[in-house]
Structure 1
Amino acid sequence: MYNFVSTVQKPTAVTHSVTGYFTSPNEKNLIISKCTKIEIFLMKQEGLQPMLDVNIYGRIATLKLFSIPGEKQEYLFISTESYKFCVLSYDSEKKEIVTRASGNAEDTIGRPTDSGQIGVIDPNGRIIALHLYEGLLKLIPIEKGQASPIQKDAFNIRLEELQVLDICFLYLTSKPTIAVLYKDTRGAKHVSTYEILLRDKELAPGPWMQSNVDIFSSMLIPVPLGGVLVVGDHAITYVNGPYPKSITIPFTRITAVERVDKDGSRFLFGDNQGKVSVLLLQHDGKIVSDLKWEMLGRTSIPSCISYLDSGVVYVGSTSGDSQLIKLNTEKDPQSNSYISILENYTNLGPIVDFCVVDLEKQGQGQIVTCSGVYRDGTLRVIRNGIGIADQASIPLEGIKGLWSLKPASSKGTNAYDKYLVTSFIGYTKILSFEGEEIEDTEIQGFDLESQTIDCATLFSHSIYIQITQKSINLIDINTSKRIDSWSPPAASSIINLCSRNNHQIIISIGKELYYFEISHDRKLCLMKEISLPHEISCLDISSFGDERVSTLCAVGLWTDISIRLLLLPSLEQVSIESLGGEIIPRSILMVSFEGIRYLFCSLGDGHLFNFVVDRPANGTYQLNDRKRLTLGTQPITLCKFKLKNTINVFASSDRPTIIYSSNKKLFYSVVNLKEVSHVCSFDSEAFPNCMAIASDNSLTIGSIDDIQKLHIKTISLNGEMARRISHLDEYSCFAVITLRKEQDNSPLREEKDECFLKLFNDQTFEITSTYAFQPFEIGWSVIPCKFTDDNTTYLAVATTFSYPDGRRPNGRILLFSINQRRLVLLDEISTKASVYTLHNFNGKLLAAVNKRLISIKYTLNSDSTKTMKSDCVYKGHTLILQLASRGDFILVGDMMKSMSLLVEKPDGSVEQIARNPQPLWLRALSMISDDYFIGAEAAYNFVVVKKNSESTNELERELLDSVGHYHIGESVNFMKYCSLSSQPDTDTPPIPTVVYCTLNGSLGVIASITREEYEFFSKLQKGLNNVVRGIGGFSHDHWRAFHNDHHTIQSRNFIDGDLIETFMDLKREEMLLVVKDMNISVEECYKKIETLIQHIR
């Protein structure tokens, strides 16, 4: 069994954020981490501008910026949970991240800290301190050098304090000085300070210490005036010697702190309720005299806060969406808040559960997730590609072209569109839109007796331009009169193709190419005509970006199947590119994305080439970075369109696709339409920001989603979080277990949970029914089920009671019917232990009651009533967390005992036939096939086990052998055997896939691949590791190796699909280096990757 792991959605939960001058000494950056990746933004007047997005081969534990005296740009320090660290800088000329230093802080002895890793940097840039093991402090000296800021080896210093809660460096010290918050053996908490003697490699007593700080203290915040803030749940204390200053705050748990002012006069605090408050330190420049506290408002529950500038703050969250907020000087009387939300950044994490459904019945799987924590809880509907929602539709057959026009009363390009010009074989129709009314109309100067091949409003000349097969027509916008026209010299000649911008026109007639310009007096001026060696199949004269006129014309030719670049106005050929093969180029387009000039050329068989158009110093244009991919099977027509002031490309074909750029990478997102022949932007008063879309038999006006790879729809739960979800197709609804956390009015503001089962309409997401669980009862599983000899679909729920007084937990299993989308409780079973999961199995319901497996039937009694009856069928586990089944086999996932395989015998009894002997703390599992099963364990690994059903050795048959290992690097909550991709129209069998979700908000697919595919991708993976080096010098092989507390095993029988996909973003010369030992062309390699990705997601 060979597996290909591909991420559908990368981590979205923000764990760390910092601000500083990393990429430039003049422009400030926001840098955030999302578990295994960092994102870098530029802080602009209009908002945050994405700049870089890079993966890190490790789980980020520390993210800090630091500066060295004399250096203009800051360095970025990263440490990982596996004790690796690196120092990064940014090369502004090459526009890339450079690794300045890297190392391993792991020690062979030592007990990892219970409170997690702590990484801090001296504010004067002298030393980095890491607290990784109890009683040890790892110190990394910083010293300015030509190549690296770290010139000396790291060393350990012994710490007397074992239960360290937090560490920070102090300001205004001649020697690096740390403050340590710790707990003693009696539970009391204290703060000590130490000077670091670098020469002697030891600690000396610091300037002060503070005994018996608040028992709830958990955090130290250094203050630039000197001293620290000791942060607790109901008090904050400023300590800088023998006279501390304290302030009592409402009882809470602080989750993030950020300094606002350089001198530390104000600090922002965020808590576990999403409340943001400000602490004011009143001082005379040296001594703090008082502390003031004020709540400002609510945001998402913050994991980190970064103050940007001018009252703008970034709030990163692992619990809900991250946000960009504005701190106002005046309180909003309606919201009673000083905070206004400027922007939300989607976070799916933590994903607690999910289901895959086909809500639009198009064969495309959509994921519905239970996302977020408590008041940030939501449901998210995630689908691949971009959705277009119908606003209006007209039956029209045979449309050959489509263009929007603005009316004469328009004032500039920002006015609304009014007309749609539709072209047919031999004639043209103009549709007029008045509100939502649509009618045929005529514009006097238009030739409606010919087929239009291009049309537009040119405000720079106050004209409409219409190009037909017979002529080029210029029509005055105000008078509707034709003011100029040009026809081919030979009456029998037909204009085959054309392209134009606001000032230039190019047309072709067979091999002949004619170039025109529109003069200031609104006349057509023929500037140049040439004959090319072969008939022209496509052409384009689009200008790049903000260029007023184009200096290039791109043409595709029949016969030699080539692309040629011609200079304007001379039409001199400056570049030629042979495409190879026998399929002619059908559409060609030049476009600029994020400052990069691209040329796209599509073929008649659904393939698409893309090139980067470079212009070196000598001025000659060149086509570089050639890439070929498949968008469909039919000819593709390329068309630029504008949405929200951003240019994108629509590729019309049997698999319509939108091409766009993000972080200077090209993306291809499928549109939720069956087939499209022509499109154009259409922004009318009744249909703003829409598109006109032509198919074989209709014209549709549709509104388009935001342009992104995944479309994510958010359903608010009004302060509740979703714990479990199932879809009931028969009743067109979702069943969701939700949880609300409320605080009581006691001084400690103790929290209590309220749990509910709710039904949501699967189209509108309106709540149609609610069932409230009992006090202290939490729902753990909800599934639709059917019983033997009963065709009714029921809803089964498992719960556990968790009592605050320490009583032994118990549980219930409830059975509901659904009548007119209302929940009706039919029966319940009380259990003596917690019920963690339910599973359908051969007309029965299986329930995991702590360590026992019970089977439940819903049977008819003698009085014609029906009740649930349970029977314990197996016991012998520690705690059963998850179940899966195929046929008569049951796969059991135990919290401590890995996986075991049970079988149901003909008499209904259940026995264990095999188990995995590894001591794995399992979190999720799935059955890939009859013989191969996959599990996710607590140390962020995947393991695949095999049933030895063909072995003749009885002992071997009783073992589930581990045959696959892989480190995913994230905490997986659920795995489900299902498919996200629409089934291809071929006889190829579907690829078995397992979809998984994680705590950090990522979604992924594990696909089963053949041995031949595995061997190919293994070679490609090796080639990529030789060419694409990990950021920070971190090793990909080490990152993907299975490792937990017991052992480390090299990745086995798994392919890192995310690494494989980076091949598609490489420059061509890098691609050639990757495949040089593989006996395969770059194009073939690209096609193999692309085909697999399309089939699995």
Structure 2
Amino acid sequence: MGNEHYSLCIADDENLRLGVIDDIQKLHVTTCRLGMAPRRIVHCPEGRLFAVGCIESGIKELGVDGGDMSMGNCIRFLDDTTFEDIQRIDMEPTEMILSMVLVTLSVDQPVRSTAASAEVENESEFESNSYLVIGTGYVLTVEDEPIRGRILVYSCQTENSQGSNVRSVKQVTELQVHGGVYSICQFYSGKMLVAVNSKTQLCKMVNDGTGVVKLSMIGAGHHGHILSILVSSRAPKISTPSLKKSESAGNEADKEESAGNKESEMQQKEMLAIVGDFMRSISLIQYYPQYETLEEVARDFNANWTTAMAMLTDDVYIGAENWKNVYVLRRNIKAQNEEVRCRLDTVGEFHFGEMFNKFMSGSLVMPSSGSETSKSNTSQNRRRALGSPKKKSCAKGSSTATRSKKPVVTVGSQTLFATVDGTLGVILGLDAATTAFFSSLAKAMEKAIMPVGNFSHQLFRSFSSEHRRHPSHGFVDGDLVESFLDLDKATMELVVKQMNKDGTWDAANFAFSNGKEKATEQENEESDRWELSVDDVLAVVEEMAMLH
């Protein structure tokens, strides 16, 4: 009737199925027309700017005769509220922006002999600031990989001039390197890790004694990769302004003791990072400050073509590869055998269907005081529409085991992801009990609901690459379990019945919480006779849906 809808047509040997794809509810989106292709973007909160690395749409002519052609790269700084252009910095000819990140760096002062100079050195020892660091590479047609590149450091600040805030972007320093700078990340002690071609190196800011700040490489770096395109660590950013200024009113002895304790804790903590190789999956490296050395301590021996990765904890890492799969690796640090400790075990595999290109820690929702109220109202409205569920009779008598408790959802890490198709989502870390519940729900929905086109959901989600095919494990399909909310009452009851029949939803001692620290022995005896109701499953799924 004049309305256009996306449709899906599936044909097999016997049937032709025609379906209509529902419209997806979208967030409010403001479009900023750049007129060129964006390549990297970073938010600079201190300067209230967005730094966008772009490929200019026009072709620049190089040379007088105009024989050589190249796409120009530039950095555009936009206001983070109005998206107005503040400043633009053009790269050199054939120079391409490969990485861009906001890091907190401390400036090391030169060693001085006098007591006065030592006092100045100590005064600025803890000084650190946020810098926009950009890695580039000179791309030439005659080279397979860049043999030259630069690391550019910019300072983005907001200054108060004559009653108005003025944003300024100043270049602090730059460093010429032998290769393309594919990735940069924050590291410990106010330093940063950079991946230059097949090499991973540690960088720091150094004052040469004349007031000029320069970038300097520490140690020889780590080799052993084909092409290091990603590097990531869980190093916290150093708070700014400096520790000395923020504690100027404190006692000097307390400050020295606090600094000594922090230094001791830093020495005891392992300084770890992961490196994503283009063809050889993920490796774990450790920095030894006493030797100024980066050393590989474990690696994944599967041939995954890495496209994105992140450290969930110091021992658990998530990665994605070009066959649209995602996997989780774990470091077996307690193993007695050295060969086992050097191997990263694969503890999860999942086929997503889209290629990942970014992982980062964060959440899709903002915590608010009214979240619990809205969640409670949503659950009450849905229960009112479905009606009161039936209670299960006790096996040994005619009495009925009443229950006013609900399952508890426990969430650990929260990792945002982005795909090349434009999908944004979140991967939530679950404990064993919550995982058992949602795994049971997913299996019940697979058995009770006929999938579109009779395609096997388990087969679709299995890890599939060029030379490997493994069943999905260690993951729960969030889209599948949350589709439980869209089912009718009869189908919901069928799914819950299948969950109770399967019985694996409480295999990991799934806990029920009623606000009490301890349950009585009678409640423990009754819990053996409990069955899930539609309301129980709705409560858990709705609580999970509120997390993104």
Using the size of structure 1 for normalisation, the TM-score is 0.36
Q: Is contact 2:131–2:156 with CA below 8 Å preserved after alignment?
A: yes
Matched with 1:899 is 282
2:349 maps to which residue? Answer: 965
In the TM superposition, residue 878 of structure 1 has moved relative to its aligned partner by 0.9
Deviation at 1:858, TM superposition (A): 0.9
Q: Does 1:801 align with 2:184?
A: no
Cα displacement (A) at 1:805:
4.4
Q: Distance in 2 between matches of 1:979 and 1:773?
A: 34
Letter in 2 for 1:827: T
The 1:88–1:822 alpha-carbon spacing in structure 2 relative to 1, beyond 3 Å, is farther
1:844 matched to 2:191? The reply is: yes
Q: Return the letter of the residue paired with 2:545.
A: I
Unaligned runs of 5+ in 2: 107-125, 158-165, 236-270, 373-407, 501-530
2:73 to 748, 751, 755: 755
For 1:878, the equivalent position in structure 2 comes to 226
Letter in 2 for 1:895: F
Change (3 A) 1:814 1:853: same
1:1092 Cα offset (Å) = 1.2
Paired letter, 2:211 = S
- Is 916-925 or 782-791 further displaced after alignment? 782-791
From 128, 142, 146, the equivalent of 1:791 is 128
> Match for residue 864 of structure 1?
211
> Does the 8 Å contact 1:893/1:925 carry over to 2?
yes
Superimposed CA distance per residue, residues 850-908 of structure 1 (whole angstroms, 9 cap, x where no aligned partner)? 01011111111122221111233211111111111124110111111111111112313
Among candidates 789, 803, 826, match of residue 172 of structure 2: 826
The answer to whether the 8 Å contact 1:971/1:1000 transfers is yes
1:1020 aligns with 2:357: no
Aligned pair 1:1092/2:544, yes or no? yes
Higher helix share: 2
| Secondary structure at 1:787 match in 2 | strand
Matched residue, 1:203: none
Alpha-carbon shift at residue 86 of structure 1 (Å): 9.2
The residue number in structure 1 matching 2:420 is 999
Instruction: Tell whether the 8 Å contact from 2:282 to 2:300 is kept in structure 1 after alignment.
Output: yes
2:31 to 701, 714, 719: 714
The answer as to whether partners of 2:411 and 2:428 remain within 8 angstroms in 1 is no
Question: What is the rounded CA distance, in whole Å, between the counterparts of 2:13 and 2:181 in structure 1?
Answer: 43
Query: Residue 741 of structure 1: CA displacement?
Result: 2.9
Residue 306 (structure 2) aligned to one of 922, 927, 938: 922
Return the alpha-carbon distance in structure 2 between the equivalents of residues 959 and 939 of structure 1.
23
Query: Match of 1:937?
Result: 321
Counterpart secondary structure, 1:975: strand
CA gap of 1:85–1:959, structure 2 versus 1, over 3 A, is farther
Deviation digits for residues 1015-1052 of structure 1, max 9, x if unmatched?
11111111111122222221111100001112111000
1:56-205 maps to which residues of 2 (within 5 A)? 76-77=9-10, 88-90=16-18
Higher strand proportion, which one?
1
Contact 1:85 1:1032 in 2 (8 A): no
Q: Distance in 2 between matches of 1:1086 and 1:859?
A: 57
Match of 1:814 in 2: 152
- For the pair 1:731 / 2:47, whether they are aligned, the reply is yes
Map 1:69-468; keep pairs closer than 5 Å: 76-77=9-10, 88-90=16-18
Q: Cα gap change, 1:900/1:744 in structure 2, threshold over 3 Å: closer, same or farther?
A: closer
**Equivalent of 1:954 in 324, 338, 346:** 338
Cα pair distance change 1:1010/1:749, threshold 3 Å? farther
Deviation at 1:1053, TM superposition (A): 1.1
SS in 2 for 1:1091: helix
What letter is aligned with 2:17?
S
CA distance in 1, matches of 2:409, 2:72: 49
Instruction: Tell me, in whole angstroms, the C-alpha distance in 2 between the residues paired with 1:87 and 1:740.
Output: 50
CA distance in structure 2 between the partners assigned to 1:53 and 1:1013 by the alignment: 36
Q: Displacement of 1:1056 after TM fit?
A: 0.6
Report which stretch shifted further, 1020-1029 or 936-945.
1020-1029
C-alpha distance in 1 between matches for 2:128 and 2:4: 55
Deviations 1:102-149 (A, max 9, x none): xxxxxxxxxxxxxxxxxxxxxxxxxxxxxxxxxxxxxxxxxxxxxxxx
Aligned to 2:535, what secondary structure does the other structure show? helix
Letter in 2 for 1:846: L
Q: For 2:98 and 2:435, how far apart are their aligned partners in 1?
A: 38
3-state SS of the aligned residue for 1:858?
strand
Matched-pair contact (CA < 8 Å) for 1:734–1:759 = yes
What is the letter of the counterpart of residue 229 of structure 2? L
Matches of 1:1063 and 1:791 in 2, distance apart?
50
Partner of 1:981: 365
In the aligned structure 2, how far is the partner of 1:829 from the partner of 1:1092? 47
Tell me what 1:768 maps to.
86
The structural deviation recorded for 1:53 is 6.7
SS at match of 2:31: strand
CA RMSD of aligned residues (A): 2.7
Q: Which amino acid in 1 is paired with 2:134? A: V
CA contact (8 A) 1:983 1:990 kept: no
Q: Give the whole-Å Cα distance in 2 for the aligned partners of 1:1074 and 1:740.
A: 54
Alpha carbons of structure 1 residues 1030 and 85: separation in structure 2 relative to 1, 3 Å: farther
Q: 1:442 aligns to what? A: none
Alignment identity in percent? Answer: 30
Q: SS of 2:129's equivalent?
A: coil
Count, aligned residues = 411
Distance 1:53 1:1024, change over 3 A: farther
Separation of aligned partners in 2, 1:867 and 1:86: 71
Alignment of 1:293-692 (within 5 A): 663=22
d(CA) in 1 for partners of 2:37, 2:304: 29
What letter corresponds to residue 274 of structure 2 in structure 1?
L
State the match for 2:243 in structure 1.
none
* Residue aligned with 1:870, SS: strand
- Cα contact 2:319–2:328 (8 A) shared by 1: yes
Query: Is the alpha carbon distance of 1:765 and 1:990 closer, same or farther for their aligned partners in structure 2, counting shifts above 3 Å?
Result: farther
User: Counterparts of 2:14 and 2:45 in 1: how far apart (Å)?
Assistant: 50
Shift of 1:1014: 1.1
The answer to whether the 8 A contact 1:771-1:823 is kept is no
Task: Name structure 1 gaps, 5 residues minimum.
Answer: 1-42, 55-75, 79-83, 91-95, 98-661, 668-707
2:249 aligns to what? none
Secondary structure of 1:758's counterpart equals strand
Structure 1 residue 88 displacement after superposition:
2.9
1-side partners of 2:460 and 2:363: how far apart?
Answer: 27
2: CA distance, partners of 1:906 / 1:744: 45
Distance 1:837 1:85 in 2: 49
For residues 289 and 177 of structure 2, the distance between their equivalents in structure 1, rounded to whole angstroms, comes to 27
Deviation at 1:929, TM superposition (A): 1.5
Per the TM alignment, residue 990 of structure 1 is displaced from its structure 2 partner at its CA by 6.1
Distance in 2 of aligned mates of 1:999 and 1:86: 35
- 3-state DSSP of counterpart to 1:713: coil
Matches within 5 A, 1:694-705: none
String of CA shifts for 1:826-856, please: whole Å, max 9, x gaps. Answer: 2111112111111110111211000101111
Deviation at 1:774, TM superposition (A): 0.5
Letter in 1 for 2:286: V
Structure 1 letter corresponding to 2:198: K
Take 1:808 and 1:752, find their aligned partners in 2: how far apart are those partners? 16
